[in-house]
C-alpha cells in the first residue's frame, strides 16, 4: 500500500480546516440569515451554539479522523464496528447534496466577479440590479457554465492531493482572504451612515428570538463549521499523532467566527449606509451590495475585491466538501485519486444542474412545496448535517469516550482538565439540543 498523504505542517492543517469552515456560509449566508432574524439577538444565540456544541463537535470529528487515519466510512467502521459505518455513508451522501448547490452559488460569485470587472453592475438602481440578478440566475446556460468552471477549479485543487493540492492552496488563499476582508471592513464601517448597520449588529432585540431563530442558528453553525458530514474528520485523518488537537480546533472555530463577524461588519453597515434593507435574503450580496459599490468612490475596485473574497472562501470550502468522498473511494475501494476526483466532481456538477435551473426553467417544479434548490439546501442544512452531528456526538460521547479523551490528549501527554465537560456536551447537551431543535422545526 502507498503511504497515506499527510499535512506538511500544523499551520497548513489549520489553514486548510479554517479554509473549509470559512466559506459561502460566512460571507453570503450569515449576513442575510442574521439580517432577516433580527441581527444581534440571532448572533448571540449563534455564538452560544458555536462555542458549546460547535467546538465540541469539531474536536470530536477531528479526533475520530486522526485516530483512525481513514475516511468517514472507514473511520467509523474501524472504531465502532460495522453498524457505525452508516454515519460515514451519511456524510459521503451529504457531501454530494451540499456540493450540488454550493457550486451553483459559487458559480454566481464567479460570474459577478466578471460582471463587476466588465462594468455590467454599474447602477445604483436596486430594481435594475434585482432584474440583472434574477435574469442571470434564471437562464439555463450561463449559470450552469459558471458552475462547471468552478467545479473544474475545485477538482483541480483536490487532484493535487493533501499536501501539494489542498494545503498549498489554502496557505496561499486564506491569508489573502483575510487581508481583503480587513480592507473591505475598514471601507464599510467608514461609509457615511454606517452607524445604523453597526447598531443593528450590536444592539440585541430579543423580541425577535423565536424557536425558528434557534433552528436557523443551529443549522447555520453546523454549515459554517463544516460539521456533521465528515469534513473535519477527513482533514483530521491526515494529521500525525503529536499535534495539539484541542488548540488547533479552537483556532479553527475562532477564525470561522471572526470571519463571520467581520462579514457582518462588512455587509450590514454598507447596506444601511446605502439606505437599503438587510432582509433581502439570498440576494443580499448579489443585489444589495452591488448597489452599495456603485455608490462609493472606487466602487469597481471594492466590488471586485468583494467577489474575489467570496470566490476564495467558496473554493477552499468546496475542496473540503469533495475530499471526504474522494477519500472514501480511494481508501475503501482502492480507486485512483485522479479517476475518483474526476467522477465525483462531475457527479456533483450534474446534480447541481437542477439546483441551478430552480431559478428558471424548473422554478415550478416543487418538492414538499420547495424548489429543488431550496429543498436540497433545507435537506442538507436542517436535516443531514444536524443528523450527522447528533450521531457523531453520540458515538464519541457514549461509544468511544475513553479512547477519544486519551487520543485527544496525545496518549495522555496533554493535560485536559476540561475533558469531562467536553464529554457532558457530547453525551447530553448536543444530542438533546439537536433533537429539541429538530422537533420544534417539524412542529
Ligand atoms: N463551512 C462551509 C461554509 O461556510 C460549508 C461546508 C459545509 C464545508 C460542510 C464543508 C462541509 O461555506
Which tens digit of pLDDT belongs to each residue from 97-110? 999 999 999 999 99
**Contact of 344 with 329, CB cutoff 8 Å:** yes
- Highest-pLDDT range among 179-193, 281-295, 306-320: 306-320
Residue 441 has pLDDT above 80, yes or no: no
Confidence band, pLDDT 50/70/90 cuts, at residue 297:
confident
Comparing CA positions, the residue from 101, 411, 87, 108 lying closest to residue 284 is 108
Q: What's the gap in Å between 223 CA and the centre of ligand 1?
A: 5
pLDDT band for position 328 (cuts 50, 70, 90): very high
- Supply the pLDDT for residue 284: 86
Pocket test for ligand 1, best of 231, 235, 257 (most atoms within 8 A of CB): 231
The whole-number pLDDT of residue 1 equals: 45
pLDDT tens digit string along 111-136? Answer: 999 999 998 898 888 889 989 999 99
Q: How far is the CA of 216 from the centre of ligand 1 (A)?
A: 15
Map 143-208 to HEC letters: HHHHHHHHHHHHHHHHHCCHHHHHHHHHHHHHHHHHHHHHHHHHHHHCCCCCHHHHHHHHCCCHHH
Dist. CA 397–CA 393, nearest whole Å: 6
Pocket-testing residue among 94, 105, 223, ligand 1, by greatest number of atoms within 8 A of Cβ: 223
- At residue 232, does pLDDT exceed 60? yes
Give, in order, the Cα–Cα distances in Å from 438 to each of 64, 111, 155, 208, 230: 25, 36, 34, 20, 20
pLDDT, tens only, 372-387: 999 999 899 889 999 9
Instruction: State the Cα–Cα distance between residues 150 and 102, nearest whole angstrom.
Output: 10
The three three-digit cell numbers of residue 402, written as one number: 475513553
- pLDDT exceeds 90 at position 282: no
Mean pLDDT of 419-423: 97
Lowest mean pLDDT: which of 223-232, 361-370, 416-425, 431-440?
A: 431-440
Asked whether the predicted pLDDT for residue 395 surpasses 50, the reply is yes
Check whether 225 has a pLDDT greater than 90. Answer: yes
What was the pLDDT predicted at 157? 98
* Confidence at residue 270, expressed as pLDDT on a 0 to 100 scale: 86
For the stretch 335-361, pLDDT in tens is 999 999 999 999 999 999 999 999 999
Give the pLDDT score at 200: 85
- pTM to 2 decimals? 0.95
- Going from the Cα of 395 to the center of ligand 1, the distance in angstroms, rounded, reads 22
Distance (Å) from CA 412 to ligand 1 centroid: 32
Evaluate whether 230 touches 325 at the Cβ level (below 8 Å).
no
CA 55 to centroid of ligand 1, rounded, Å: 15
SS3 367: strand
Which among 50, 54, 226, 255 is the best mutation to test ligand 1's pocket, defined by most ligand atoms within 8 Å of the CB?
226
Percent with pLDDT over 70 in the chain: 99
Nearest protein Cα to ligand 1, atom 10: 226
CA of 20 to the centre of ligand 1 (A): 6
Q: Please report the pLDDT score of residue 333 as a whole number.
A: 95
pLDDT class for 2, splitting at 50, 70, 90?
A: low
Residue 165 to residues 16, 153, 171, 186, 232, Cα–Cα distance (Å): 10, 11, 10, 32, 17
User: pLDDT digits over 183-192, tens only?
Assistant: 999 998 998 8
Q: Which helix (H) or strand (E) holds 397?
A: none
Residue among 21, 109, 154 to mutate when testing ligand 1 (max atoms within 8 A of CB): 21
CA of 231 to the centre of ligand 1 (A): 9
How many Å lie between the centroid of ligand 1 and the Cα of residue 23?
A: 6
pLDDT, residue 439, reads 83
- Ligand 1, residues at Cβ distance < 6 Å: 20-21, 23-26, 98, 223-224, 226, 229, 231, 317, 320-321
40-85 tens-digit pLDDT: 889 999 999 999 999 999 999 999 999 999 999 999 999 999 999 9
Average pLDDT, the chain: 93
d(CA 161, CA 89): 22
Amino acid at each position: 500500500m502507498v503511504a497515506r498523504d499527510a499535512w506538511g505542517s500544523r499551520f497548513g492543517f489549520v489553514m486548510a480546516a479554517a479554509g473549509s469552515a470559512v466559506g459561502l456560509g460566512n460571507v453570503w449566508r450569515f449576513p442575510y440569515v442574521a439580517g432577516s432574524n433580527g441581527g444581534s439577538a440571532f448572533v448571540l444565540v449563534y455564538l452560544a451554539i458555536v462555542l458549546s456544541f460547535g467546538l465540541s463537535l469539531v474536536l470530536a470529528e477531528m479526533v475520530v479522523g486522526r485516530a483512525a487515519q481513514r475516511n468517514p466510512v472507514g473511520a467509523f467502521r474501524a472504531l465502532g464496528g460495522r453498524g457505525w459505518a452508516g454515519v460515514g455513508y451519511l456524510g459521503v451522501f451529504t457531501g454530494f447534496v451540499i456540493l450540488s448547490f454550493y457550486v451553483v452559488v459559487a458559480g454566481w460569485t464567479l460570474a459577478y466577479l466578471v460582471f463587476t470587472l466588465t462594468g455590467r453592475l454599474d447602477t445604483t438602481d436596486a430594481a435594475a440590479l434585482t432584474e440583472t440578478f434574477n435574469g442571470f440566475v434564471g437562464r439555463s446556460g450561463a449559470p450552469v457554465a459558471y458552475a462547471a468552471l468552478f467545479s473544474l477549479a475545485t477538482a483541480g485543487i483536490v487532484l493535487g492531493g493533501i499536501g501539494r493540492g489542498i494545503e498549498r492552496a489554502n496557505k496561499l488563499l486564506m491569508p489573502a482572504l483575510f487581508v481583503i476582508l480587513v480592507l473591505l471592513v475598514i471601507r464599510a464601517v467608514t461609509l457615511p451612515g454606517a452607524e445604523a448597520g453597526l447598531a443593528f449588529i450590536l444592539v440585541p432585540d430579543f423580541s425577535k428570538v423565536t424557536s425558528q431563530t434557534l433552528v436557523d442558528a443551529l443549522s447555520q453553525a453546523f454549515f459554517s463549521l463544516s460539521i456533521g458530514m465528515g469534513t473535519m474528520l477527513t482533514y483530521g485523518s491526515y494529521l500525525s499523532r503529536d499535534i495539539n488537537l484541542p488548540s488547533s480546533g479552537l483556532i479553527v472555530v475562532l477564525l470561522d467566527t471572526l470571519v463571520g463577524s467581520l462579514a457582518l461588519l462588512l455587509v450590514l453597515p454598507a447596506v444601511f449606509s446605502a439606505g437599503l434593507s438587510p432582509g433581502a435574503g439570498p440576494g443580499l450580496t448579489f443585489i444589495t451590495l452591488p448597489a452599495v459599490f456603485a455608490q462609493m468612490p472606487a466602487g469597481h475596485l471594492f466590488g471586485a475585491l468583494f467577489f474575489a473574497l467570496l470566490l476564495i472562501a467558496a473554493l477552499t470550502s468546496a475542496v473540503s466538501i469533495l475530499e471526504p468522498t474522494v477519500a472514501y473511494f480511494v481508501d475503501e475501494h482502492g480507486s485512483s485519486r485522479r479517476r475518483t476526483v474526476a467522477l465525483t466532481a462531475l457527479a456533483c456538477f450534474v446534480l447541481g444542474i437542477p439546483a441551478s435551473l430552480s431559478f428558471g426553467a424548473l422554478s415550478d417544479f416543487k418538492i414538499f412545496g420547495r424548489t429543488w434548490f431550496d429543498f436540497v439546501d433545507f435537506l442538507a442544512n436542517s436535516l443531514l448535517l444536524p443528523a450527522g452531528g447528533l450521531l457523531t456526538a453520540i458515538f464519541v460521547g457514549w461509544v468511544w469516550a475513553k479512547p477519544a479523551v486519551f487520543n485527544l490528549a496525545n496518549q495522555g501527554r496533554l493535560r485536559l482538565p476540561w475533558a469531562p465537560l467536553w464529554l457532558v456536551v457530547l453525551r447530553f447537551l448536543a444530542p438533546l439540543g439537536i433533537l429539541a431543535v429538530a422537533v420544534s422545526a417539524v412542529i
